[in-house]
Amino acid sequence: MAAALSLEELQRTCAMHRVSDICLVVEMQAGIDALVGASYDEAAAERMRVLPAAVSETLIVPPNGTDAKSHHASTIAEVAPGELLAAWFAGDWEGANNTGIWMARWQDGSGWGPPWEVVSHVGRGAVWNPVLLQVPRSGETILFFKEGDDPLTWAGKLVRSSDGGHTWSSPEALPRGITGPAKNKPVVLSDGTILSPSSEELGPAELREAAGDPSWFVHLEVSGDGGRTWRRNGPVRFAGNIIQPSLFVDSKGGVRMLARMTSNTIKQGDFDEHWHYPHHFRYNDSMIVLGVADGKGERFHDVRRTALPCPNSGIDAVRLRDGRVLVVYNPTKYTYRGVLAVALSEDDGETWFDVLELERCRKSDIARNLWTRYPEYSYPAILQASDGLVHITYTYSTRPLKRHKSGRESIKHVVLNPLKLRPVKLEKEELPAAKFHHFLQALRASSDYFPPSYEHWLEGNNGIRAHVVLDEEDDGDSSA
């Protein structure tokens, strides 16, 4: 552990950062000890003292950095101290037959190297949702991915590396019924057991849920031998559609999950009337779901909604070494991904407060053409590295392009100092459901003319200017 700061050092640190309360610096010292742990060096501790909450941000895929037009669903892992790998799928668009799994390497001090394709198109549908896992005991790196035309036909596969991701094995098929992690990293328990957060989709969630029959399910896949063999556990019981869980070990040694939820965005009685509207016009009443299980995740006995909204978009979470939990999510009640934020929990996910807004779509982009996809910041992955800093990657799209050419032109990497995270109040740009309902009715009645935006419709009806957050999903697939 680092030596405690002397009074003189405390005063100097306060002056350096313009902090008037010396108790805050004492708190920072204690936080460093907890966040970094006993194995850190003095340089790492000093680094955390002086770095701001948002340390850096970088685009992993530079302009024209690959031949692919669309990049999505990133994953990140630390393969050695100060060395990270990120992977994602890329192609003409999500689900295109020319998608492959791309990868880039980050080294502290030199940043990201050029991307390369690690899994090329193999001829049987697209590839989807890569997930990296660094196996602690063996040092092996595993890259999971899925192959198929859509979630109904996905087959789980993986490749392995014994040299930190420099070379990879040929793809291996996972056993029948085992699909691998749906989106987020597995958790490795203290005894070496690997818990893979998995899920399945048996059809369009909205159609099945309208009939009272959820079709998206979460289950775990468990390995006790470093990922050589697997068994399936679940599904997790919940009265609703949930997929793509993120796992963490709680303060009592139990396993908890946070999961993506979708629901009828319109009341069931209005379902048929609104089914034909694009996904980005749907008000969403679903929330991130918390599940509490026993020590090894064998049975989730308490699964319920949190207070965090979930606009049918991917999330990811990590438990910091000081016991706090971070989640990265889209904090809106519309199926819209133009805002990305980080929330923090100090009680194992029971309660949350926002600590940082990573991205927010400009208002001028929100009011664009009706059928245009809006800028998107989505599908985050998060980890805490060995030096205590937090790394987040996510889909970064600023081009509001047409359907099937959805922007998604890069993957962004952000580094945070968790010691400096404090509660913030996010700006809210929510549209009242009643006005949104009337807007949908106006669209349906306007067979010859579609207003270019919700703003224009409001101006023509009551002169009130407002902004709506809208997004167009691609066919409702899980990875969209």
Residues 329 and 371 in one domain: yes
Of 203 and 207, which is predicted with more confidence? Answer: 203
Confidence label for 142 from pLDDT (cuts 50, 70 and 90): very high
Question: What is the pLDDT confidence band of residue 213, given thresholds at 50, 70 and 90?
Answer: low
Neighbours of 174 (CB within 10 A): 18
Contact 292, 300 (CB under 8 A): yes
Mean pLDDT calculated for residue range 430-442: 47
Average pLDDT of the residues of the chain? 78
441 domain-assigned: no
Q: Are 40 and 175 members of one domain?
A: no
- Does residue 150 share a domain with residue 242? yes
The amino acid occupying position 386 is S
Stretch 74-103: mean pLDDT, rounded?
Answer: 95
Q: What is the pLDDT of residue 458?
A: 47
Residues 270 and 215 reside in one and the same domain:
yes
Residue 59 lies in a domain: yes
Residue type, 69: K
Report helix, strand or coil for 148: strand
pLDDT winner (highest mean) among 121-130, 227-236, 369-378: 227-236
Assigned domain for 199 exists: yes
Give 149-188 pLDDT, tens digit per residue.
888 889 999 999 999 999 999 999 999 999 999 999 999 9
Position with higher pLDDT, 374 vs 260: 260
pLDDT recorded at residue 66: 79
* Domain end marker among 420, 446, 469: 420
Residues 89 and 11 occupy one common structural domain: no
Pick from 368, 364, 359: which is nearest to 332 by CA? 359
User: What tens digit of pLDDT does each residue of 248-303 get?
Assistant: 999 999 999 999 998 654 433 333 333 333 444 455 678 999 999 987 888 998 99
Model confidence at 75: pLDDT above 90: yes
**What are the tens digits of pLDDT across the range 189-200?**
999 999 999 999
pLDDT band at 362 (very low <50, low <70, confident <90, very high): low
**Are 87 and 128 in the same domain?**
yes
95 and 231 in a common domain: yes
Segment 58-67 mean pLDDT: 85
Percent of the chain with pLDDT over 70: 68
Give mean pLDDT, residues 87-102.
Answer: 92
Q: Taking the mean position of all CA atoms in its chain, how far away is CA 266?
A: 25
Strand blocks (E) in 43-110: 54-59, 70-80, 83-91, 100-107
Residue 383 in this model has a pLDDT that exceeds 90: yes
pLDDT of residue 231: 96
Average pLDDT value for residue range 115-125 = 83
Using the 3D structure, point to which of 372, 396, 420 is the last residue of a domain: 420
For residue 462, is it within any domain? no
Q: How many CA atoms lie within 13 A of 107 on its CB side?
A: 4
In 3D, which of 107, 104, 99, 62 has the Cα closest to residue 81? 107
Return the amino acid letter for 455.
E
**Alpha carbon of 22 to those of 7, 192, 329, 418: distances in Å?**
9, 42, 34, 19
- Look at the chain and report how many structural domains it folds into: 2
Q: Are residues 446 and 461 in contact, defined by beta-carbon separation less than 8 angstroms?
A: no
Query: Residue 454: inside a domain, yes or no?
Result: no
Closest listed residue to residue 479, CA positions, set 220, 127, 156 = 127
Shared-domain flag, residues 18 and 74: no
pLDDT above 90: percentage of residues in the chain: 51
Residue 143 shares a structural domain with residue 82: yes
How large is the average pLDDT for residues 462-471?
34
Per-residue pLDDT, 73:
98
Q: Which amino acid is at 371?
A: W
Q: Are 89 and 437 in contact (CB under 8 A)?
A: no
pLDDT band at 361 (very low <50, low <70, confident <90, very high): confident
CB burial of residue 164 (10 Å; 0-12, 13-18, 19+): middle
Q: Where are the alpha helices (DSSP H) in 254-379?
A: 271-274, 363-366
Which residues, 6+ apart, have CB-to-CB distance to 190 below 8 Å? none
Q: Which of 56-70, 197-211, 352-366, 438-452 has the lowest mean pLDDT?
A: 438-452
> Is residue 67 very low, low, confident or very high in pLDDT (cuts 50, 70, 90)?
confident
- For residue 72, pLDDT over 70 is answered with yes
Query: Do residues 29 and 61 share a domain?
Result: no
- pLDDT value for 4: 40
Note whether 134 and 176 are same-domain residues. Answer: yes
pLDDT at 43: 75
pLDDT recorded at residue 480 = 62
- Per-residue confidence (pLDDT) for residue 281, from 0 to 100: 44
Mean pLDDT, residues 50-65? 90
Domain containing residue 377: 54-420
Note whether residue 224 is domain-resident.
yes
pLDDT at 240: 86
Would you say 256 and 291 are in contact if contact means Cβ atoms under 8 Å apart?
yes
Residue with tokens 């990120």: 86
State how far the alpha carbon of 336 is from the alpha carbons of 205, 283, 313, 430, in Å. Answer: 17, 9, 8, 11
When mean pLDDT is compared across 70-84, 106-120, 199-213, 231-245, the lowest value belongs to: 199-213
Residue 433: inside a domain: no
What mean pLDDT comes out for the span 33-43?
A: 58
Average pLDDT, integer, range 10-39: 47
Q: Is residue 20 part of a domain?
A: yes
Non-local CB neighbours of 130 within 8 Å, separated by 6+ positions? 73, 75, 87, 88, 89, 101, 119, 143, 144, 145
Is residue 374 located within the same domain as residue 311?
Answer: yes
Question: Among 391, 420, 449, which residue terminates a domain?
Answer: 420
